[in-house]
Amino acid sequence: MRTLRYLLEKEFKQIKRDRFLPRIIFLVPLMQLIILPFAANFEMRNINLGVIDNDHSVLSAQLVEKVVASGYFRLTNVSDSYDQGITSIESNESDLLLEIPVNFEQQLGREGAVEVLIAANAVNGTKGGMGSSYLSQIIQDFNQEKGFTSGLRSGGIRSTSLFNPHLNYKNYMVPGIMVFLLTIIGGFLSALNIVSEKEKGTIEQINVTPVPKTLFLLSKLIPFWIIGFILLTIGVIVAWIVYGLLPVGNIGIIYLFAAVYLIAFTGLGLAISSISSTQQQAMFTAFFFLIIFALLSGLFTPISSMPHWAQQITLFNPVRYFVEVMRMVYLKGSQFADLTGHFVVVCLFALFFNVLAVASYRKK
Amino acid sequence: MGINGVKIEAISKNYGLIEALQDISLDIHSGELFGLIGPDGAGKTTLFRILTTLLLADKGKATVCGLDVVRDYKKIRTMVGYMPGRFSLYQDLTVEENLNFFATVFNTTIAENYELVRDIYVQIEPFKKRKAGKLSGGMKQKLALSCALIHRPEVLFLDEPTTGVDPVSRVEFWDMLDRLKKQGITILVSTPYMDEASRCDRIALMRSGRCLSVDTPVGIRSSFGRHLWTVRASSMYKLLVDLRSFPGTYSCYAFGDAHHLTLKEDGREMDDLMQFLKGKGYTDVTIESVEPSVEDCFMAL
């Protein structure tokens, strides 16, 4: 016990003295938490719109005005023909084209229905897709406003967003990013820290002492558990101050999950450290997992919109579960009873990674 | 063999196809200052790593203080001090913190064994608040030795402790080892410098994983069977070529500022050699008799 205390004392001294580590541990995550939610915003704004108005009527002008007034579009090009409009897309002047046919006003008045053409530049798929759906939504609204009912659409669909009524992406991103920070601290900084002792040869000097290997490794992991908790607390405070976000559910649940999750990822870090002999190798191995875990976690893109096989893969991604838990507790106020399934899975991951780590260290 | 001896029996170790150690057997007595002498790649470090329980041998067995290096590795780790060839203390901890750290992991304190390290530690004590990474080479080496000694080991393994250290510090370092030997500590030291061999009680000459010869430095030197001559002239390279082309030459190699020469038949051929060199047009040749050094013995093996 005395030895462990002294080993820990040494670890914290080293982390404190490191010129780089304290910054990367505390400053970088803060920046991520403050900047990323603004950048990772899936709402499309400022879509460049080109209009081809073949009608030049009062009604067509009103429609264009309504589209621009929605705030999603910026009128950047007005063309006389479809071909001209396409040229403006090619020159990147517009992302989306709206062509209003001749006799738009007349036909609409007479028949109650008319077709307009929406063409989107699909090079940026999200922009094109979201843009055209926004645009059809607006046209539909316009129809209703003017009292034109176009057959099937007359009923209209009204959607309500539950738990995040304003569909604020920041509310959605911030809890997820906190998970990401814990992943980096637990899994990757711990691996780098152990490998650096290998690289400097100090592990050799430790190995000839009577210090048991488990105790030594424990002294390497405990600091990252502590740092992880400090970081989580900072994250919760930042979310509250900057985004006004407080968990609807019990914050204790988040800490409980974080504890198991950190144990799981330090286990992974340990396994990575045992197979790499330089920090560079550890870095690349960690990076490989990090990218896969991040993209398949549902943090940036909804899991439900992934192809079936990718959805199956996410079942083996521990990040996915904690991201879900965070969002459920933060936005929905889920209770522990709702999350027992998640808890079991995260515990299993913790067990699996640590068994893996022990096995790979045994082999040597 | 006493309590603190080291016994190595037919140890072999391969790294893939490279035979790092081939059938090494050594018997190091208790309280002995034993030197492993050999060039880089001779297998010295591998042997140390096996004896300090960091590496498993492929074949053979070894005991340190009568304990088996495989079975009793835990006990051995409390009884030996190891100073690797590469400086491997914590560079971001201070001198004092490093010493304190290693004392603690061995369940002891600096105060308890200060006696043993005092001679060495007083030289670096003025810098005890300095980070180990900021020390000069000689001071790093003294700190590493202090850390290896702080738990009063029975056997001390020093892997090339004087490599990259200036000549004055090297002499000082060997003086320190002499004092430690008086405390009854068995010391195994490896070095590529042949001139340091004479400071050991006994030495083993190693090359390419083989142990070529084991004896006292005097014994090794007297085993050099031939008479050794140094030959000097103004044009040294031409002289080397010519000496080698002399039919009576047994061996000839450049050694510092002179060439060391042995003849097939001592004495009788000396006159022939003088004639031979005169015939080649040398006027300023000096030939002197010299005592063979360990390096000469190493070259002859």
* Domains of chain B by start residue, with CATH: 6-221 (3.40.50.300), 228-300 (3.30.70)
Pairing type for strands B258-263 and A73-79 reads unpaired
Task: Please report, for residues B29, B46, B163, B189, B201, the alpha-carbon distance to residue B196 in angstroms, rounded to integers and kept in the order given.
Answer: 20, 21, 11, 10, 11
Tell me: do A68 and A208 sit in the same domain: no
Tell me: do A285 and A301 sit in the same domain: yes
Selected residue with higher pLDDT from A245 and A144: A245
- Evaluate the CA torsion angle B147, B152, B158, B162 in order and state its sign: positive
Query: How far apart (Å, rounded) are the C-alpha atoms in residues A96 and A49?
Result: 5
Tell me which chain A residue has its CA closest to the CA of residue B87. A201
Residue B185 φ/ψ, nearest 5 degrees:
-85, 135
B105 inside 8 A of chain A by CB: yes
A321, part of any domain: yes
Paired tokens of A157: 């669909």
Helix (H) or strand (E) holding A191: helix A190-200
Contact A274, A286 (CB under 8 A): no
Contact B257, B237 (CB under 8 A): no
Tell me which chain B residue has its CA closest to the CA of residue A212. B74
Mean pLDDT across chain A, nearest whole number?
85
Tell me which chain B residue has its CA closest to the CA of residue A8. B101
- Considering A28-37, A169-178, A226-235, the range whose residues carry the highest mean pLDDT is A226-235
Tell me: do A184 and A302 sit in the same domain: yes
Window 15-74 of A: residues touching B by CB (8 A cutoff) are 17-18
Min Cα separation B165/chain A (Å): 20
Counting the structural domains of chain A, the total is: 2
Query: How many other CB atoms are found less than 10 A from the CB of residue A182?
Result: 25
Contact A187, A353 (CB under 8 A): no
Partner residues linked to B186 by β-bridges: B155
Residue showing tokens 């390419």: B208
Selected residue with higher pLDDT from A313 and A113: A313
Residues B90, A14: C-beta atoms closer than 8 Å: yes
Query: pLDDT value at position A363?
Result: 63
Query: How far apart (Å, rounded) are the C-alpha atoms in residues B215 and B234?
Result: 37
How are strands ordered across the β-sheet holding A96-100?
A73-79, A47-53, A96-100, A117-120
Average pLDDT over every residue of A236-249: 90
Min Cα separation A208/chain B (Å): 5
Query: How far apart (Å, rounded) are the C-alpha atoms in residues A343 and A230?
Result: 22
Best mutation target among B90, B149, B156 (most A Cβ atoms within 10 Å) is: B90
Task: Please report, for residues A46, A96, A168, A323, A326, the alpha-carbon distance to residue A61 in angstroms, rounded to integers and kept in the order given.
Answer: 20, 17, 32, 46, 47
Tell me: do A66 and A182 sit in the same domain: no
Tell me how many degrees the CA angle A171-A176-A180 measures, rounded to the nearest 5: 150
Q: Give the pLDDT band (50/70/90) at residue A166.
A: low
Best mutation target among A8, A20, A209 (most B Cβ atoms within 10 Å) is: A209
A345, part of any domain: yes
Query: How far apart (Å, rounded) are the C-alpha atoms in residues A294 and A314?
Result: 10
Contact A63, A100 (CB under 8 A): yes
Q: Could you give the percent of chain A with pLDDT greater than 70?
A: 92
Tell me: do A33 and A74 sit in the same domain: no
> By three-state DSSP, how is residue A42 classified?
coil
pTM over 0.80: no
First to last CA, chain B: 28
A110, part of any domain: yes
Residue of A10, A202, A210 with shortest CB distance to B106: A210
Q: Give the pLDDT band (50/70/90) at residue A212.
A: confident
Paired tokens of A234: 């900072």
Q: Give the pLDDT band (50/70/90) at residue A161.
A: low
Query: pLDDT value at position A364?
Result: 55
Selected residue with higher pLDDT from A223 and B2: A223
Q: Give the pLDDT band (50/70/90) at residue A154.
A: very low
A181, part of any domain: yes
Query: How far apart (Å, rounded) are the C-alpha atoms in residues A7 and A1?
Result: 10
Q: Of A268, A227, A255, A228, which Cα lies nearest the Cα of A350?
A: A268
Query: pLDDT value at position A159?
Result: 55
Residue A271 φ/ψ, nearest 5 degrees:
-65, -40
Query: pLDDT value at position A167?
Result: 60
Residues 6+ apart with CB under 8 A from B146: B99, B117, B120, B121, B124
Query: How far apart (Å, rounded) are the C-alpha atoms in residues A135 and A123?
Result: 18
First to last CA, chain A: 26
Domain edge (last residue) among A155, A182, A206: A155
Q: Give the pLDDT band (50/70/90) at residue A165.
A: low
Pairing type for strands B67-68 and B18-28 reads unpaired
Give the residue ranges of chain B where pLDDT is below 50: 1
Query: How far apart (Å, rounded) are the C-alpha atoms in residues A306 and A296?
Result: 9
Contact A212, A219 (CB under 8 A): no
Min Cα separation A190/chain B (Å): 18
Which chain B residues are Cβ-neighbours of A6 within 8 angstroms?
101, 104-105
Residues A211, B88: C-beta atoms closer than 8 Å: no
Task: Please report, for residues A151, A162, A195, B11, B20, the alpha-carbon distance to residue B56 in angstroms, rounded to integers and kept in the order given.
Answer: 84, 64, 22, 10, 13
Residue B257 φ/ψ, nearest 5 degrees:
-95, 10
Instruction: Report the residue count for chain B.
Output: 301
Residue of A17, A202, A209 with shortest CB distance to B88: A202
Query: pLDDT value at position A81?
Result: 87
Contact A189, A29 (CB under 8 A): no
Residues A6, B106: C-beta atoms closer than 8 Å: no
A160, part of any domain: no
Min Cα separation A196/chain B (Å): 11
Domain edge (last residue) among A132, A155, A178: A155
Query: How many other CB atoms are found less than 10 A from the CB of residue B166?
Result: 12
Give the domain range for residue A20: 2-40+167-362
Query: pLDDT value at position B188?
Result: 94
Query: pLDDT value at position A119?
Result: 85
Q: Of B176, B164, B87, which Cα lies nearest the Cα of B133?
A: B87
Residues B78, A210: C-beta atoms closer than 8 Å: yes
Residue-wise pLDDT tens digits, A64-78: 888 888 888 888 888
Helix (H) or strand (E) holding B255: strand B249-255
Tell me: do A308 and A183 sit in the same domain: yes
Residue-wise pLDDT tens digits, A80-104: 888 888 888 888 888 888 888 888 8
Query: How far apart (Å, rounded) are the C-alpha atoms in residues B193 and A311?
Result: 65
Q: Give the pLDDT band (50/70/90) at residue A155.
A: very low
Tell me: do A298 and A216 sit in the same domain: yes
B80 inside 8 A of chain A by CB: yes
Q: What is the dihedral of CA A85, A86, A88, A90, to 10 degrees?
A: 180
Query: pLDDT value at position B243?
Result: 87
Tell me: do A299 and A315 sit in the same domain: yes
Residue showing tokens 């879900």: A324
Amino acid letter, B190: S
Contact B239, B280 (CB under 8 A): no
Query: How far apart (Å, rounded) are the C-alpha atoms in residues A131 and A18?
Result: 49
Query: pLDDT value at position B266?
Result: 66
How big is chain A by its Cα radius of gyration, in Å?
27
A197, part of any domain: yes
Helix (H) or strand (E) holding A343: helix A340-362
Residue-wise pLDDT tens digits, A321-344: 999 999 999 988 889 998 999 999
Range with the poorest average pLDDT among A22-26, A56-60, B122-126, B195-199: A22-26
Average pLDDT over every residue of A122-141: 78
With 0-12 CB in 10 A as exposed, 13-18 as middle and 19+ as buried, what is B293? buried
Query: pLDDT value at position A130?
Result: 77
Paired tokens of A51: 């209009």
Best mutation target among A13, A204, A208, A364 (most B Cβ atoms within 10 Å) is: A208
Q: Of B66, B152, B165, which Cα lies nearest the Cα of B113?
A: B152
Query: How far apart (Å, rounded) are the C-alpha atoms in residues B35 and B159?
Result: 10
Residue showing tokens 């838990």: A325
Domain edge (last residue) among A93, A123, A155: A155
Tell me how many degrees the CA angle A77-A80-A83 measures, rounded to the nearest 5: 85
Query: How far apart (Å, rounded) are the C-alpha atoms in residues B233 and B45?
Result: 40
Min Cα separation B112/chain A (Å): 17
A162, part of any domain: no
A161, part of any domain: no
Pairs of residues, one from chain A and one from chain B, whose beta carbons lie less than 8 Å apart: 58
Residue-wise pLDDT tens digits, B195-207: 888 899 999 999 8
Window 174-203 of A: residues touching B by CB (8 A cutoff) are 200-202
Contact B188, B51 (CB under 8 A): yes
Tell me: do A13 and A80 sit in the same domain: no
Residue-wise pLDDT tens digits, B15-51: 888 889 999 999 999 999 999 998 888 899 999 999 9
Would the pLDDT of A116 be above 90? no
Pairing type for strands B286-290 and A73-79 reads unpaired
Residues B53, A208: C-beta atoms closer than 8 Å: yes
Residue of B53, B93, B105 with shortest CB distance to A13: B93
Tell me: do A107 and A183 sit in the same domain: no
Tell me: do A93 and A9 sit in the same domain: no
Would the pLDDT of A153 be above 60? no
Tell me: do A25 and A52 sit in the same domain: no
